[in-house]
Structure 1
Amino acid sequence: MYTITNIYVLAAFGTIGGALFGFDISSMSAWIGSKQYLDYFDNPDSNLQGGITASMSAGSFAGAIAAGFLSDHIGRRYSLMIAACIWVIGAAIQCSAQNVTHLVAGRVVSGLSVGITSSQVCVYLAELAPARIRGRIVGIQQWAIEWGILIMYLIAYGCSVGISGPAAFRICWGIQGIPGLILLASLFFFPESPRWLAGKERWEECLDTLALIHGKGDRNDPVVQVEFEEVREAARIAHESKDVSFFALFGPRIWKRTVCGMSVQMWQQLLGGNIAMYYVVYIFEMAGMSGNTTLYSSAIQYVIFLVTTGVMLPRIDRIGRRLLLLSGSVICMALHFAIAGLMATDGHFVPSVNGNSNLRWEIHGASAKGVIACSYIFVGVYGLTWAPTGWIYSSEVFPLKYRAKGVGMSAATNWIFNFALAYFVAPAFHNIEWKTYIIFGVFCTVMTVHVFFTYPETARRSLEEIDILFDTDVKPWRSAQVKDIFAEEVERHRKGSVSGDKEVTATHSEEV
């Protein structure tokens, strides 16, 4: 069977798993203010709507927890195939929803799929990609999420303005199944992760896969040889270790990595991205927009999100992880406090906004425009920094034996906080209005300190080299200065190959 070996093609199709997450986000955010949805589901109040929105995250949490065991047992590729099948089933359940319970069940099933793909696509691509471009390859996962958000939002927008009655959201939710089918079909042509193959001691397949992806099929390519040696050593260490449980992720040599992997996913959520993604319609309604104006203004925000991440991906490995995380948290902190100030200055209490009793705060004048502008800037900064970097970082910090379960645990952390915030934000806008932004500003302040003192730089290093970085206890703020061992080894192999060729030539000349 033909096997895809181009890493960019693998990333393009593999990250459809990320697009599933994006589809599910905007499949809800686009409808929470629409007449068809509100009429059919009997105008859910803020608590119920928070529960509906968060139900996908609950399923994703369970899926992410199970993903590590599944991926270690049957492989990265087959676990993604199972996730694609689950996604199609979830889309069918949502499409046929007859009531809120039915809809929640569909979102939970879809969430199981998203939990698996959100963690294991990162693992899979990180284990396939060359170190020098690993950030942009894994970061395509986040870009795919954003493409999914925008595409589904535009489909939902078209359905909401062009179709009356429940058929509008049924068509929209049914279309979600198509990318799942595309992902399932493409995975038949994907190679298995070479590091998973090494973990199963399938060495010939491991070397062949590394050669196909990194050396155009040449097993003797210096990059392939160095990569293979590092993978073999990592697999040897992994086999000498005990079986990995979730408790082992907090063992003496691993706990720092686990804290980094889990906390970067936690902070990515507490940065406030959910405010922008799930409830953008609410924000713009409080700022005085209504009807179609709210919908296409929200679409602009998703386009900004998509463009900024797309601009960053080719540069993300040169800039490094720490600079992006630290600058993102500081700028987003300032924006949260600015939005809170604008809302408090020119806002006031109202019984409802545009007939929506879930919203009780209205902003007027220049402050309303300021809130919209800050929201757009926030999404741009989020797209440039934390949105792609959070997923990349958590996929890099774990050693081979712990990687699938560690990234699964990290993704589960993302989803449990995603669930909490998806549920919290709607009632927060209802009960504490502008003070919601103060809370997120404080989170940004704390994460800035945490990142600076505990996150080492991982950009442009092999996964095995990152193991050494953690094991030597280099101060995180000095970690970028540690020399590149992988590059030195590749150069040594190249010189060895050249010397060997010269010796062969000299011997041949003497014989002649």
Structure 2
Amino acid sequence: MALSATHPDDPGRTRRASLTVLIIAAVSALGGLLFGYDTGIISAALLFITRDIPVDTFGKELVTSAIVAGALVGCLVAGPVSDRVGRRPTILIAAVIFIIGSIASATSHSATMLIAVRLLLGLAVGGTSQIIPVYIAELAPAARRGSLVLLFQLAIVVGILVSTIIGWALGGSDGSGGNWRLMFLLGTVPAAILFLGMLFLPESPRYLVLRGQSERALAILRRVRPSDAVAAEELGAVEAQPRENGSWKLLFSRRVRPALIAGTGIGMFCQITGTNATIYYAPSVLASAGFGADEALQTQLLVGVTIVVATAFGLWAVDRWGRRTLMLRFLLLAALGLVLLGGSFIGGNPTGIGRYTAVAGLIAYEIFNVGSISASIWLVGAEVFPLAIRGKGMSMVALSHWTFDLVVSLFTLTMVQALGAGYAFFVFAAINVLAWVFVLRAVPETKGRSLEEIEQRLGDGTFLAMR
């Protein structure tokens, strides 16, 4: 059902409500910046940790992967916690873990301690990937929900870029710096801002309705909607949805299955289409293409800037083109970028102009993949599940993301060694085509629809008919 438009007689209130929602989304999205920073900074820190802490190659792998292992647990725990204590308290808990984890990482004196701390940070990373998109989606108006939720994804890629810049700056241009403790400690700054900011932000009104606190929910909706009439109408739509037991059994029921397939499927394809594989291993690919260390670093920085720009475009496009439409328009172009990249390696490492063809293919792939399916993963997951199990449903989306992130991280280089770089990229190109088919068949268009309409369409069997 469509909610009323803005109140024509009070443009001042409309602007205040719009600004309030933007502030709520921007502050909570800082969790995404921490997500990106803490997962990205380890690549620079590992270059210098061995100066102070004895750690072998296997230990470095454990330190790097510990945050992913923690995220697998964190995303599962955060769903039930957020359904029990609320969205806002769950984000506050994650912020505290980020602060403690950043300080503990900076003061670690052994590899064992650092691995344990990175596991702890992983709990916060996984938790924020589950709860922050849900929190923003439940507060945002339907017309702006896409761009506001995508602030979280934009913050993630900005965090990755910031970690690259800080790692380079604190490492020194000749590698003589290497203040790895400060690299970790700087993570406390956005974590503290997130914690303090969340103290002043409201709870999700939909969660409050779920807990029988409709008066509090209406008061919050009046702050973030352009008129009392719009707020009351939205509250009525939320209250009209059947109150169900938010059990895991409901999540895996036949009725909810289309949403579960759509959300977790995007979570899986977001990883196996090669997004993080190219980010993780781009320097190795560039080195094999004949680039020197400085050129490889500069191109890696270009990749970092590219994914930020691509995500910013996705933020604009999801509420204008639509989530499904954006993915259908861009995924095949991403596949073509990988074909161009892979083709540069056929017959041996690229030389001459082939080196720049490889870079062009890499950049094109990042633009079209990151700007579409990577931009949509947290958004679609936060939209498609019924209110009673939204937290648990988003946990499964995040679990899919982190599980396949781990798989891709472990097996990408093995695949490159077995097939060669060119054919490995052809495999990722084919998977992008499969992702396009999946979106065409299994993902509805949720642009401009209220969360209650999406839930109603899921209940009456017309979920996949939304186009």
Q: What TM-score comes out, normalization by structure 1 length?
A: 0.82
Separation in structure 1 between the aligned mates of residue 19 and residue 213 of structure 2, nearest angstrom: 19
Change in 2 beyond 3 A, CA 1:474/1:248: closer
Secondary structure at the aligned position of 1:343 is classed as: coil
Q: Percent of aligned pairs with the same residue?
A: 28
Change in 2 beyond 3 A, CA 1:344/1:31: farther
Instruction: Report the alpha carbon displacement of residue 42 of structure 1 after superposing the two structures with TM.
Output: 7.0
Secondary structure at the aligned position of 1:19 is classed as: helix
Separation in structure 2 between the aligned mates of residue 433 and residue 176 of structure 1, nearest angstrom: 37
Please identify, of 463-472 and 16-25, the stretch whose mean Cα deviation from structure 2 is larger: 463-472
In structure 2, what residue type is equivalent to 1:299? L
Of residues 376, 385, 409 in structure 2, which corresponds to 1:389?
Answer: 376
Separation in structure 2 between the aligned mates of residue 243 and residue 393 of structure 1, nearest angstrom: 20
Are 2:288 and 1:286 equivalent residues in the alignment? yes
Separation in structure 2 between the aligned mates of residue 41 and residue 446 of structure 1, nearest angstrom: 44
Separation in structure 2 between the aligned mates of residue 110 and residue 75 of structure 1, nearest angstrom: 21
- Aligned positions of 1:260-279 closer than 5 A: 260-279=262-281
In structure 2, what residue type is equivalent to 1:18? G
- Aligned positions of 1:44-63 closer than 5 A: 45=57, 50-63=61-74
Contact 1:271–1:332 under 8 Å retained in 2: no
Of residues 311, 316, 319 in structure 1, which corresponds to 2:318?
Answer: 316
Change in 2 beyond 3 A, CA 1:120/1:475: closer
Separation in structure 2 between the aligned mates of residue 176 and residue 100 of structure 1, nearest angstrom: 19
1:487 matched residue in structure 2: none
In structure 2, what residue type is equivalent to 1:311? F
2:231 matched residue in structure 1: 224
Instruction: Report the alpha carbon displacement of residue 420 of structure 1 after superposing the two structures with TM.
Output: 1.6
2:222 matched residue in structure 1: 211
Aligned-residue RMSD, C-alpha = 2.4
- Aligned positions of 1:34-433 closer than 5 A: 34=47, 36-37=48-49, 45=57, 50-161=61-172, 167-215=178-226, 218-219=227-228, 221=229, 223-234=230-241, 237-238=242-243, 241-245=244-248, 247-347=249-349, 363-433=350-420
2:459 matched residue in structure 1: 471
Structure number with greater Rg is 1
2:426 matched residue in structure 1: 438
Deviations 1:340-389 (A, max 9, x none): 22212232xxxxxxxxxxxxxxx433222211111111111123211211
Contact 2:208–2:217 under 8 Å retained in 1: yes
Instruction: Report the alpha carbon displacement of residue 269 of structure 1 after superposing the two structures with TM.
Output: 1.0
Contact 1:301–1:376 under 8 Å retained in 2: yes
Change in 2 beyond 3 A, CA 1:26/1:370: same
Contact 2:31–2:132 under 8 Å retained in 1: yes
Instruction: Report the alpha carbon displacement of residue 167 of structure 1 after superposing the two structures with TM.
Output: 4.8
Change in 2 beyond 3 A, CA 1:155/1:457: same
Contact 2:341–2:360 under 8 Å retained in 1: no
Change in 2 beyond 3 A, CA 1:328/1:4: closer
Instruction: Report the alpha carbon displacement of residue 109 of structure 1 after superposing the two structures with TM.
Output: 1.2
Contact 1:49–1:426 under 8 Å retained in 2: no
Separation in structure 2 between the aligned mates of residue 458 and residue 50 of structure 1, nearest angstrom: 40
Instruction: Report the alpha carbon displacement of residue 70 of structure 1 after superposing the two structures with TM.
Output: 0.8
Separation in structure 1 between the aligned mates of residue 324 and residue 354 of structure 2, nearest angstrom: 33
Instruction: Report the alpha carbon displacement of residue 31 of structure 1 after superposing the two structures with TM.
Output: 5.0
Change in 2 beyond 3 A, CA 1:109/1:227: same
Secondary structure at the aligned position of 2:274 is classed as: helix
Question: Tell me, which stretches of 5 or more residues in structure 1 are unaligned?
Answer: 348-362, 481-512
Change in 2 beyond 3 A, CA 1:49/1:425: farther
In structure 1, what residue type is equivalent to 2:427? I
Separation in structure 1 between the aligned mates of residue 55 and residue 417 of structure 2, nearest angstrom: 15
Separation in structure 2 between the aligned mates of residue 375 and residue 50 of structure 1, nearest angstrom: 26
In structure 2, what residue type is equivalent to 1:415? W
Change in 2 beyond 3 A, CA 1:323/1:243: closer
Separation in structure 2 between the aligned mates of residue 51 and residue 290 of structure 1, nearest angstrom: 28
Secondary structure at the aligned position of 1:253 is classed as: coil
Change in 2 beyond 3 A, CA 1:40/1:366: farther
Contact 1:130–1:214 under 8 Å retained in 2: yes
Contact 1:5–1:212 under 8 Å retained in 2: no
2:9 matched residue in structure 1: none
Instruction: Report the alpha carbon displacement of residue 43 of structure 1 after superposing the two structures with TM.
Output: 8.4
Q: What TM-score comes out, normalization by structure 2 length?
A: 0.90
1:7 matched residue in structure 2: 21
Instruction: Report the alpha carbon displacement of residue 4 of structure 1 after superposing the two structures with TM.
Output: 11
Deviations 1:40-61 (A, max 9, x none): 677855x765544332111111
Of residues 3, 8, 16 in structure 1, which corresponds to 2:30?
Answer: 16
Separation in structure 2 between the aligned mates of residue 451 and residue 294 of structure 1, nearest angstrom: 34
Secondary structure at the aligned position of 1:317 is classed as: coil
Q: How many residues align?
A: 450
Instruction: Report the alpha carbon displacement of residue 414 of structure 1 after superposing the two structures with TM.
Output: 0.6
Separation in structure 2 between the aligned mates of residue 76 and residue 190 of structure 1, nearest angstrom: 11
Instruction: Report the alpha carbon displacement of residue 187 of structure 1 after superposing the two structures with TM.
Output: 0.5
Change in 2 beyond 3 A, CA 1:11/1:163: farther
